Amino acid sequence: MTRATAFIPARAGSKGLPGKNKKDFAGKPLVQWSIDQAKASKLFDKIIVSSDDPDIIALADKCGVIPHERHPELATDESIVDEVIFDFFVRPENKCKYICQLNPTSPLRTPEDIVTMYKFIKMKKYFSVVSVKWSDFIGWVGQASNKGPICSYNIDKRPNRQTRKDYFLENGAIYWVKYDVLIAYGNMIGNPERVKLYEMPLERSLEIDTPFDFYIAEKAYEYTSMGLTN
């Protein structure tokens, strides 16, 4: 049985930044960063690139990884990535022990991030491992009908930045899950009580969804390439 499989979801469509997954980022298509990082980790028996874009399918083949032509109904703006992943891995021929989702929109992750998270997913106590970024969250949640948004803190004791609790937000870069957990729960998380959070620094947590995101990621790449990070 295959031990570890990397799954890179890279559909053609994108409202925020059309064609983003094949857009050139620092000298190569955005999706190729995920392919190269997966290879560099030396963890995977299989690397899958799932797309409905012929150019991305061809790129995957050129890079020596496995292209997966996604069904049109799983390549819409409403499609949920977990459903795409489940549809692929529920087939007996794709069974493995561990699954790693690498989103093309996070080119600044490193192979070392992938490897470190792999060490956690091998532990029995964890169902999944999720990459996150730190956030000093203080804000308002949604809109509660006609009553206005919900405040996340006591307005009589509005906290200073230094005294706020730590919050962690998923940065979308890396998800590891045990195969049996994906099949049982139908998603990449499983039981939230059995999740390990892996914190990544903000400069490696950038996620590209808009032209502005792309610009910031390019600047962050230049910044990290110059060795200016801690």
Q: Which of 7-16, 30-39, 47-56 has the lowest mean pLDDT?
A: 7-16
Mean pLDDT of 56-72: 95
Catalytic: 11? no
Q: Minimal CA–CA distance to 181: which of 79, 96, 120, 65?
A: 96
Catalytic residue among 11, 109, 158, 204: 158
Average the pLDDT over 19-30 and give the result: 95
How do residues 124-148 score in pLDDT, each as one tens digit?
Answer: 999 999 999 998 777 777 765 566 7
Query: Residue 1: how many CA atoms within 13 Å on its side-chain side?
Result: 11
Helix intervals (H) in the chain: 30-41, 54-62, 81-89, 111-121, 179-185, 211-225
What single-letter DSSP state applies at residue 71?
-
pLDDT in tens, 168-207: 999 999 999 999 999 999 999 999 999 999 999 999 999 9
- pLDDT (tens digit, 9 = 90+) per residue, 67-125? 999 888 777 777 889 999 999 999 999 999 999 999 999 999 999 999 999 999 999 99
What dotted CATH number matches 2-132+169-225?
3.90.550.10
User: Residue 196 forms beta bridges with which residues?
Assistant: 129
Q: What separation in angstroms does the CA of 96 have from each of 36, 134, 152, 173?
A: 21, 31, 41, 21
Region of 41 (left: φ > 0; alpha: ψ -120 to 50; beta: rest) is alpha
How far apart are the C-alpha atoms of 3 and 227, rounded to whole Å?
35
Amino acid (one-letter) located at 136: D
Please count the other Cβ atoms lying within 10 Å of the Cβ belonging to residue 197: 11
Q: How distant, in Å, are the alpha carbons of 42, 88, 89, 177 from that of 97?
A: 16, 14, 11, 9
> pTM of the full predicted structure?
0.89
Q: Is the pLDDT of residue 229 over 60?
A: no
Q: Give the pairing of strands 140-141 and 28-29.
A: unpaired
Map out the domains of the chain as residue ranges.
Answer: 2-132+169-225
**Confidence grade of residue 58 (pLDDT, cut at 50, 70, 90):** very high
